[in-house]
Amino acid sequence: MNKPIRLGLIGCGGIVQKTHARAYHSLTETVKITAIADVVEENMQKVGSDFDVTDKHRYSDYREMLEKAEIDAVTIATPHSFHAEQVIESAKVGVAVISEKPMATSMDEADQIMEAVSQNAVPYTVVHNYLFTAGMQSAIAQLPEIGETYYGRSTGMGLRSSDFNSNHPNPAFAWRASKSKGGGCISDTSYHEIYSVCTLVQSPVRYVEARVRTMVLDIDVDDFAMLLLEHENGAVTTISGAWSVPATDFGWCEVHAENGSLRVKHRYNVKEALQKYTRAEGWKQIELTDLDEEGLKDSSGHAGYFAATFNALAENRQLPISAEKAYHNLAIIDAARRATKERRAIEI
Ligand SMILES: NC(=O)c1ccc[n+]([C@@H]2O[C@H](COP(=O)([O-])OP(=O)(O)OC[C@H]3O[C@@H](n4cnc5c(N)ncnc54)[C@H](O)[C@@H]3O)[C@@H](O)[C@H]2O)c1
């Protein structure tokens, strides 16, 4: 049996403590957290003790970790404005790079990442976790049955409190509300709705029309994102995301095709996540069977994503989410911002 992949973490904040950690604990034969880096001591100590990382391998400067620690791969989970620099520095030392979404904050940064991972020949992937929930995996498996797609739609809306701003005492809120840190609802929340619905439509996006704006909150980034996409196969997709609209049904996507429709509810009871429509039977709940304890808890799909990614790394196979997929998702976001400014559809 191969030795576990030695993993370094860059960023030990909310998502690592709440979600990534559970996934790593379920993958102890494949991956071992060997070194960690964070600029906030408290976060580093929490994750360090959870994974028994020795003091020597806890770093306040991620560059020092890259220089000194014996690692095969890193996971980057920091505010968006740090992703490009940290991916590029990691690629330079030759480790595999798993980056939380989004790839970067601009297409210019994304191009620099593509060049760095290609020049240094390192595996690189971005976390598109919602594709790995049980509901989405089952929907993907059923796509051949529904045939040619013509319409996709997805939504991820919820109201943030009025004190959500860049001075918020919770750092995870503060950076999300700040343009200089790469925040905003389209790159944070709608990011997931975009790749999820585009995966179901199964055709690359060619044109983007959108309005991405700050409607309600006192922040210098968007709290409202409405997109209209046209795909290469002629299908049309609508995406609505907002931090400024109260909603009861947060996070779902659906696809309509010649032989039927599929609807996946994210962030819900995992067992009830998938519905299917056919002319003969109308809308029906699809029973998701064969779910183990971990699958039942994995409402964000992180455990499924990390299992697929680390197994592929261990076996030297292509990673399930390619750099090109993440680049395409960012290009849609970039085009949506341009479409808003220029009030026209943008070709990508
Ligand atoms: N895929 C998902 O479903 C999902 C969900 C939540 C967050 N995320 C992503 O995870 C990333 C982190 O989000 P979060 O909610 O954990 O934020 P957070 O603010 O809770 O955590 C960020 C961590 O990064 C650390 N940090 C900041 N600058 C650093 C630096 N230069 N070097 C090392 N560490 C640094 C902070 O101290 C903090 O511990 C973001 O990219 C976010 O979009 C993804």
Of 108, 52, 66, 117, give the one whose Cα is nearest residue 88: 117
Q: Any bridge partners for residue 211, and if so which?
A: 226
CA distance 223 to 230: 23
Tell me, what's the pLDDT at 234? 98
Q: What is the position in ligand 1's atom list of the atom closest to the CA of 43?
A: 39
Tell me, what's the pLDDT at 86? 98
Ligand 1 pocket mutation, candidates 10, 12, 15, 58, criterion most atoms within 8 A of CB: 15
* Residue 161 CB neighbours (<10 A): 10
Q: What is the position in ligand 1's atom list of the atom closest to the CA of 83?
A: 41
Tell me, what's the pLDDT at 247? 84
By residue count, the chain amounts to: 348
Mean pLDDT of each 10-residue bin along the chain, 348 residues long? 91 97 95 98 98 97 98 98 98 98 98 98 98 95 97 94 93 96 97 97 98 96 98 98 88 96 86 94 91 84 96 96 98 98 97
**C-alpha 284 to ligand 1 mean position (Å):** 38
- 129 touches ligand 1 (CB under 6 Å): yes
Residue 80: alpha-carbon gap to chain centroid: 12
**C-alpha 12 to ligand 1 mean position (Å):** 7
Of 263, 303, 267, give the one whose Cα is nearest residue 286: 263
* H helices present in the chain, as ranges: 14-15, 21-25, 41-50, 62-68, 83-92, 107-119, 134-146, 171-176, 185, 191-201, 293-297, 302-314, 323-342
Tell me, what's the pLDDT at 236? 98
Q: Whose CA is nearest to atom 17 of ligand 1?
A: 172
Tell me, what's the pLDDT at 2? 76
Instruction: Report the b/e string of 331-346 with b at 16+ CB within 10 A.
Output: bbbbbbbbbbeeeebb
Q: Any bridge partners for residue 203, and if so which?
A: none
CA distance 101 to 20: 13
- Reported pTM: 0.97
Q: Is the distance from CB of 285 to CB of 275 less than 8 angstroms?
A: yes
Tell me, what's the pLDDT at 312? 97
Q: Which domains does the chain have, with CATH numbers?
A: 5-126 (3.40.50.720), 130-347 (3.30.360.10)
Phi, psi at 223, each rounded to 5°: -120, 15
**C-alpha 9 to ligand 1 mean position (Å):** 11
Cα–Cα separations (whole angstroms), residue 307 to 9, 67, 128, 136, 323: 16, 27, 13, 16, 18
* Residue 47 CB neighbours (<10 A): 22
List for the chain the helix, strand, coil content (%; round to 5). 40, 25, 35
Tell me, what's the pLDDT at 269? 78
- 174 touches ligand 1 (CB under 6 Å): no
- 101 touches ligand 1 (CB under 6 Å): yes
Of 227, 222, 221, give the one whose Cα is nearest residue 196: 227
Tell me, what's the pLDDT at 125? 98
Q: What is the position in ligand 1's atom list of the atom closest to the CA of 128?
A: 1
